[in-house]
Structure 1
Amino acid sequence: MKISDIQVRRKPRQSRAKLTQEALQESFVRLLHERAAHDITIREITDLAGVGLGTFYEYFSNKEDLIALTIHRQVKNNAADLKIYAQSLIELSTYHDISDYLSQIIQFQIQQIQQQHVLWAHIFLLERQVSSQESYQKHYQLMTELWDELLQPFMQPEKSRQRSALNLHRIIYGFISQTLLVNTHFKEWEDLTQDILAATQSFICNLNATVFSHAISKKSDI
């Protein structure tokens, strides 16, 4: 079933209602660690959440709506974690140049996904089964805009920065999603990290050259 947007019947405005919706989502995620989404029933989700079946339908029309919200929140939370981590690097000055800065962020993202790799494997699969092209594009845009923001302290030319952001996401997302789609219980994370860093190395070197060239250009204008 394809859905273009997340269809939530009732938006939780009160803290209790929000907790109920979160409980349903967390129950679904817990069950995902045990088996595939198509084997999970709504009754199992509500039983684990400790609510009645009718409560589920107050918030969602069907299981696909809950899946769509789960995908959205997983992507959004990952983006938020990356942003916070990148800000901490800048505030604490724990990097030397753009290469070191990006390498640390890339490794952090891989570690975050590794910690929930079974869930992410399901998310990548469900994203293809449930999400519409429009929803997929929104998530892709969310991540490319994040990378664009993370590059802003180093790269001012907007066009080259946006292209760089897009390519960074292409490389990292492609490596990780394809790996977990093939092997849900993938374990060679150190090798994967080195492969991703190697794939981005020449690309990041080009970014370094762009940053250096821009800096020289600014000095000559003074």
Structure 2
Amino acid sequence: MKNIEIQVRRKPRQSRARITQEALMESFVRLLAERSANEITIREITDLAGVGLGTFYEYFSKKEDLIALTIHQHVKNNAESLKSYAQSQYELSTNLEFSEYLQQVIHFQLQEIQAQQFLWAQSFLLERQVSSIESYQKSYAMMVQMWQSILKPFIQKNEQLQQMSLNVQRLCYGFVSQTLLMQPEFSDWQVLEEDIIQTMKHLICIKE
């Protein structure tokens, strides 16, 4: 597969249309658990989703567009979940130290990824096969913005906030994506978390 941009023919403005698009993405994910993306046909996706081929082509021009959107939505859901968790942790404590706060958020992120390890491993792999550089940059920027929202209560200077958020994303994404690309069935998550935290303390000067 060559790199392409996401080509969504019709954005789902109505709830019924949105449900149909989500059903197509969910069907692809379910089939992905059985075999590789290359072997999955559009017909199989639509049959499992309970829609016709014509409905598929109302939203997507090809299978790769569905895959790219599925990956983007997966990343977006993770970002929203992390922001909600971080906000709840910040609101629950009035004297939470920055280092403890950040470590709790990273721990939660790794738990979320581990809970859907197969899907994340496949997403990192497919991302390199079907996503254009523009799509990749969009998802990466979304995650950096997520970290800015999470770290903002502790970092007042905008330039420092941007750099810190970028560094945290570089570390978390790099450690996790490279680990799952090389070892899709990786199991030593506690060691990985410790490695991320220790590296972060050295690179962005988190104080004990």
TM-score, normalised with respect to structure 2: 0.94
Give the Å deviation of 1:2: 2.0
Give the Å deviation of 1:95: 6.5
The code of the aligned residue for 2:166 comes to L
Q: Within 1, Cα distance between the matches of 2:148 and 2:14?
A: 35
Partner in structure 1 of residue 130 of structure 2: 130
Preserved contact between residue 90 and residue 96 of structure 2 (Cα < 8 Å):
no
Deviations 1:14-71 (A, max 9, x none): 2222111111100001111222111111111111111122211111110011011101
Partner in structure 2 of residue 215 of structure 1: none
Preserved contact between residue 71 and residue 123 of structure 2 (Cα < 8 Å):
yes
Partner in structure 1 of residue 119 of structure 2: 119
Q: Within 2, Cα distance between the matches of 1:187 and 1:33?
A: 18
Partner in structure 2 of residue 163 of structure 1: 163
Q: Within 2, Cα distance between the matches of 1:71 and 1:95?
A: 37
Partner in structure 1 of residue 189 of structure 2: 189
Preserved contact between residue 99 and residue 208 of structure 1 (Cα < 8 Å):
yes
- Identity across aligned pairs (percent)? 62
- CA change 1:95–1:106 in 2 (3 A) is farther
Deviations 1:57-92 (A, max 9, x none): 111110011011101101111110110001001111
Name structure 1 gaps, 5 residues minimum. Answer: 210-222
Name structure 2 gaps, 5 residues minimum. Answer: none
- CA change 1:95–1:168 in 2 (3 A) is farther
Q: Which has the larger radius of gyration?
A: 1
Give the Å deviation of 1:203: 3.6
Give the Å deviation of 1:120: 0.6
Q: Within 2, Cα distance between the matches of 1:107 and 1:154?
A: 18
> 1:49-68, aligned counterparts within 5 Å?
49-68=49-68
The code of the aligned residue for 1:22 comes to E
- CA change 1:40–1:180 in 2 (3 A) is same
TM-score, normalised with respect to structure 1: 0.88
> 1:1-222, aligned counterparts within 5 Å?
1-4=2-5, 6-93=6-93, 96-203=96-203, 206-208=205-207
Q: Within 2, Cα distance between the matches of 1:158 and 1:140?
A: 19
The 3-state SS of whatever aligns with 1:187 is coil
Give the Å deviation of 1:94: 7.7
